[in-house]
Amino acid sequence: MAIRKIVTEGDPGLARKCREVKEINERIITLLDDMKETMELEFGVGLAAPQVGVGRRICIAYPTQDELLELINPELLEKEGEQISVEGCLSVPGYIGDVIRPKRVKIKYLDRTGKEIIREFTDFGAIVVSHEMDHLDGILYIEKATNVREAGDQTEINIEGEK
């Protein structure tokens, strides 16, 4: 495994729609492993492939502290409700902002073995999954957020910024 460099706001790769993964080969598995190591080094709760310079539809997240989720080609099937989240992003270091996210999402994705999975996430899980899936469409949270401000002492919930 290896640490990958996280690109930041202004990198054109963060604004592009990522391409589907056609085949889960060794390069994809290595990417997933590297993303996990990179995210954990930065104490993140989520990371998307374009943040490490790879324009593929892959992201990882901790919907709870105990479960690492690996999403390949995730698709939103349903969303319901609203909640306000206070978010940060490893690609926008030092800032947080308020974002309206769905309260519940239902998604379809492939795991690293290529198995198709349909699952629902609520509350924090819905926030982190939505934030990471936005990255795959070239969307940063700061485009949706209000009251973007310096993160300060990070006492608030901070997506990607603090586990």
- Taking the least distance from each CB to Ni ion, the nearer of 89 and 151 is 89
Q: Does 134 bind Ni ion (CB under 5 A)?
A: no
- Which residue stretch of 55-63, 83-91, 101-109, 142-150 sits at the interface with Ni ion (rule: CB under 5 A)? 83-91
Single out the residue of 31, 21, 27, 14 nearest to residue 138, CA to CA.
14
Q: In whole angstroms, give the CA distance from residue 48 to residue 50.
A: 6
Among 72, 89, 99, 110, binds Ni ion (CB under 5 A): 89
Residue 48 token pair: 């998307």
Among 28, 125, 129, 160, binds Ni ion (CB under 5 A): 160
Is residue 132 flagged as an active site residue? yes
Buried b (16+ CB within 10 A) or exposed e, 29-39: eebbebbbebb
- Each residue 30-69 as x (binds Ni ion by CB under 5 A) or -, in order, gives ----------------------------------------
Backbone dihedral region for residue 138 (phi beyond 0: left; psi -120 to 50: alpha; all else: beta) = left
**Which residue minimizes CB distance to Ni ion?**
89
Catalytic residue (one of 20, 132, 143, 156): 132
- Taking the least distance from each CB to Ni ion, the nearer of 24 and 47 is 47
Q: In whole angstroms, give the CA distance from residue 36 to residue 148.
A: 27
Determine phi and psi for 141, rounding to 5 degrees.
-60, -30
- Taking the least distance from each CB to Ni ion, the nearer of 7 and 21 is 7
State the residues that interact with Ni ion by CB under 5 A.
89, 160
Which positions are annotated as active-site residues? 132
